[in-house]
Amino acid sequence: MSEEMNAFNVGPSGKSRGVAGLLAILLGCVGIQYFYCGKTSAGLLAILISLVSCGSASVLWFIQGILMIAMPQDQFEQKFVYSPSTFPLF
């Protein structure tokens, strides 16, 4: 497998899109993927959304996890690590 295709390689930011994607799939309801990417306010907002929606928002985090794993590393870092957006969703 080439270095470019491996989702678990760490990018220039020190974050792996594979790890972030798995965190979103498995623990997205507590916003752990946002805490991993350094977006603390988004993580807290994800917890609040999960509480208000009684956990049904977990479907969104599952889809987000799949998209994180599938996207190129540079796009992942631009959207989820370096983005000025407080709550990057898709």
**Does some domain include residue 1?**
no
pLDDT given for residue 3 in this prediction: 57
**Does some domain include residue 5?**
no
Q: Report residues of the chain scoring pLDDT below 70.
A: 1-4
pLDDT given for residue 4 in this prediction: 62
pLDDT given for residue 48 in this prediction: 96
Q: How many domains does the chain have?
A: 1
Tokens of 64: 């987000």
pLDDT given for residue 90 in this prediction: 73
User: Virtual CA dihedral for 27, 29, 30, 32, nearest 10 degrees?
Assistant: 50
pLDDT given for residue 1 in this prediction: 53
Q: What is the extent of the structural domain holding 44?
A: 17-73
Q: What is the number of helices (H) and of strands (E) in the chain?
A: 5, 0
